[in-house]
Amino acid sequence: MIIPLHMSQSFLIDNPRARVALPSLAALFALFVLSGCDGSSGSSDSSLTAGPGADDQPIAEAPAFNTASGFVVVREPGPRLPVEATVEYTDADFDAGLPAIVLQVPDGFDTTTNLPPNFDNLQNVSVMAGELVEVVYRPVDPEGELPGMFPEELLQGSSFDDNFDGTKTFRWRPLQMDVGINAFTVTALDPANDSYRASQTIFIKVELPDDPSTIPNVAPMLDEFRPHTVRVNDPVVIELKGIDLNGDTPILEIPDLPVGGSFNQHPRFAEIYVLKFVPTTTGTLTIDVVARDSIDSALTAEESISISVLAASAFTTTGQPLRALAEVRDLRIGFAALQSFYHRPDGAIYADIAEREFNFVTPENSMKMDQINPEPGRFQFAATDNLVSFAQSADMTVHGHPIIWYRQLPNWIEQAPLTQVEQHMSEYISRLMSRYKDDVTVWDVINEPLADNGSLRDSIWHKAMGESYIDKAFAQARAVAPDAQLLINEFDISMEGPKATALFALIDRMQANDIPLDGIGFQMHFFTSFDQFTELEANFAKVAERDLDIYITELDVSLAQGATLAQQASVYERVVSLCLAQPRCKAIQTWGLTDQYSFRSIFDPLLFNRSYQAKPAYTAVQGVLADTTQ
Ligand code: G3I
């Protein structure tokens, strides 16, 4: 249970001042183009947004920047538009004063007899870049005891220092990269019950001084580089990114290149340098990197990265690969592919294990609208083209995901006039599906249409068209790709509940109105604690009764606190068995290949661990698929 409360406090800093910020330029651009006041009609036809032209067509990428084999990697012709970084906080948030304190109250806890802890004397802070911020945190509790406290994520370059008197001091010297509204949150724990907590955020407004020379020039640093495992004699590609908090672009150097290696600045991303080499011996390879300030070349930082190089035998498994076992059952078994895996250090082993084990692949992120169509009329197909090329080289079929979703939408569609959204949806479906209609055999036409209570999500699509957006999307999808399987893909429908009930009602309404629908995607993002297999089996049957196919689309089984790999394997085994027992179950896909890149990597939910070693879950799936009695 969360209860907002308001408090007011003071602080200690160098020297405060304040100014007004501008709205996002992208938002202004989108409105400008959409309203046609830039003189463009978008394109020659009646469409609202120009179709893909020659300038949208991906071009071949130099092999020096990737590990792909068996297909040519293409890249966007121009600068790839990054996914819009969501503007977290604005001046309005800052001007509104200290945010309300947020309480976390254990169920059944009586807050009248035990008032929550809070902080003495905090306020929002406004500084110039280069000035030192110091804020003393003194947690207090109305019942008189001294609360403990801990910071949420520290801001880059900041510290939260213990004064050993019950207080702590937040220290930060923001620089050019921090200009804007920053937030810092500290949580106090009630002395009587540490699950009873109060979180206080402060906003720190950072602005550029009139004289930037007053801002200290700090040494650049290397962006975080996670440990990776690679296979000996494979090409290794490592993208290293320099970070200079003064906002400059550092120069990266490797004094002692691996034998035969190359180290080049990325042709399109100046802050990225690409190291490519082939390790010929096993063991841990340590590579020293120098980050040099582009303003003051004497200002440097030295860091080391390390790669674990294993023999090829370390990546083999016993028994038949999953895809061989699935194919004899006319079943698809697949995974969600990490976007641009061929740009990762371990891209070669990633691709080889994927090709060995899976015959079905979904783009985890590259086909989302903010990636494909970041601006009106602007399309970015390279990452998805590459995945389709990889799938063809690996004899895999492709699962298109997602077409219409309420998340990962570009700002321009969220801000478009509602009266234009239907046409934008129609054009988007047409352009995306027509590009891949010969490559993609299954589409998540509508992804996650249902809210937790079973109502339809209030997405931009629903706002503009009501429930009919679903019917229109499916009707158009069928028209563009008549031979493809069209799915609704949803989570939390594997058990009884409001979403499953609503899903079956939605299916019944669509079928009563002859809306094309071929199957249902059960995402299945489970924890090891999942045990509602009877309900899952019943919901499979309800889908099958409606003459629809079942796709397990995003299976992963996160290790709950204290759970074992054997328990994880058991859940995978039960799910695969239920699929094999249901004739309408056509596919099993895990949401990722290795724990290394899972969106839930902290819970190690997949079949292969971070070093690409098959886990008990893999062996369990292999065993069920091989058991011809099932
Ligand atoms: O590409 C940008 C990068 O340029 C930027 O620097 C970085 C930091 O802001 O963000 C990167 O985009 C992130 C993207 O993953 C690629 O890593 C997005 O912020 C992040 O939100 C996105 O998360 C994905 C999430 O869907 C939302 O799209 C997860 O990787 C992906 O596993 C997850 O998958 C979804 C399915 O599509 C639908 N079903 C649920 C499933 C899990 O949420």
Q: Which domains does the chain possess?
A: 5-12+38-83+322-626 (3.20.20.80), 91-212 (2.60.40.10), 221-311 (2.60.40.10)
Taking the CA of residue 447 as reference, the ligand 1 atom at the shortest distance is 38
Q: How many CB atoms lie within 10 A of CB 443?
A: 31
Q: How many A from CA of 525 to the centre of ligand 1?
A: 15
pLDDT at 413 (0 to 100): 95
Q: Which two tokens stand for residue 161?
A: 């220092």
Q: Are 389 and 398 in contact (CB under 8 A)?
A: no
pLDDT at 554 over 90: yes
Task: Out of 34-48, 69-83, 402-416, 450-464, pick the least confident.
Answer: 34-48
Residue ranges lining ligand 1, Cβ < 6 Å: 82-83, 85, 364-365, 368, 407-408, 447, 523, 554, 599
Arithmetic mean of pLDDT, 63-76: 92
CA–CA distances in Å: residue 155 to residues 5, 159, 245: 24, 8, 12
pLDDT at 50 (0 to 100): 78
**pTM (2 decimals)?**
0.85
Q: How many A from CA of 365 to the centre of ligand 1?
A: 6
Q: Are 583 and 618 in contact (CB under 8 A)?
A: no
Q: How many A from CA of 604 to the centre of ligand 1?
A: 17
Q: How many A from CA of 429 to the centre of ligand 1?
A: 21
Task: Quote the strand ranges of 105-147, DSSP E.
Answer: 118-119, 125-128, 133-137, 139-140
7 pLDDT band, cuts 50/70/90, is very low
Q: Are 291 and 252 in contact (CB under 8 A)?
A: yes
pLDDT at 55 (0 to 100): 77
Q: Whose CA is nearest to atom 24 of ligand 1?
A: 365
Residue 509 corresponds to which amino acid? R
Catalytic residues: 448, 554
340 pLDDT band, cuts 50/70/90, is very high
pLDDT at 32 over 80: no
Q: Whose CA is nearest to atom 37 of ligand 1?
A: 364
Q: Which two tokens stand for residue 350?
A: 């990633």
Pocket test for ligand 1, best of 81, 338, 365 (most atoms within 8 A of CB): 365
Q: Which residues pair with 172 in a beta bridge?
A: 133
224 pLDDT band, cuts 50/70/90, is confident
| CB < 8 Å & 24+ apart, contacts of 22-31 | 24/87, 24/411, 26/84, 26/375, 26/411, 26/412, 27/411, 27/415, 29/375, 30/375, 30/376, 30/411, 30/412, 30/415, 30/416, 31/415
Which residue reads 């495992």 in tokens?
229
Task: Quote the strand ranges of 132-277, DSSP E.
Answer: 133-137, 139-140, 148-151, 159-162, 168-172, 180-190, 193-207, 221-222, 228-231, 236-243, 251-253, 262-265, 272-277
Q: How many CB atoms lie within 10 A of CB 207?
A: 18
pLDDT at 72 over 80: yes
Which residue reads 């819009």 in tokens?
84
pLDDT at 621 (0 to 100): 98
84 pLDDT band, cuts 50/70/90, is low
pLDDT at 17 (0 to 100): 34
pLDDT, one tens digit per residue, over 160-177 is 999 999 999 999 999 999
Q: Which two tokens stand for residue 67?
A: 């590990």
pLDDT, one tens digit per residue, over 353-362 is 999 999 999 9
Arithmetic mean of pLDDT, 576-592: 98
Average pLDDT across the chain, whole number: 91
Arithmetic mean of pLDDT, 115-124: 94
pLDDT at 434 (0 to 100): 95
Q: Which two tokens stand for residue 522?
A: 């059960």
